[in-house]
Amino acid sequence: MIKPLEDYVVLSVKKEEKTTASGIILATEDKDKPAMGKVISIGPKVENIKVNDEVIYQSYAGTKVKLKEVEYLLVQSKNILAIIEE
């Protein structure tokens, strides 16, 4: 597991669908990266964010890390814009 330091948060990023339900492949235009993810781990200085929260983060923020074939994103808590509440 990744244990972030300071005010960093580890996110599992939601992937964009590249095909429709009927199997039509979508064009590969330059689109904004997905900006939603699930909090996997938080650093000791993070406030107001908990593990398992679904969040919206600033596009193009953070550092991608691949660990055991799973891709994570490390972002500073200031780059998390909102928590999704259902």
- 77 burial level (CB within 10 Å; 0-12, 13-18, 19+): buried
CATH topology of domain 8-15+32-83: 10 Kd Chaperonin, Protein Cpn10; Chain O (2.30.33)
Domain limits of the chain?
Answer: 8-15+32-83
- Residue 26's pLDDT is 66
Task: Return d(Cα 73, Cα 38) in angstroms, integer.
Answer: 10
* Positions of the chain with pLDDT under 50: 30
Q: What is the pLDDT of residue 30?
A: 46
Nearest CA to 40 out of 73, 69, 11 is that of 11
Mean pLDDT of the chain: 87
pLDDT at residue number 51 = 97
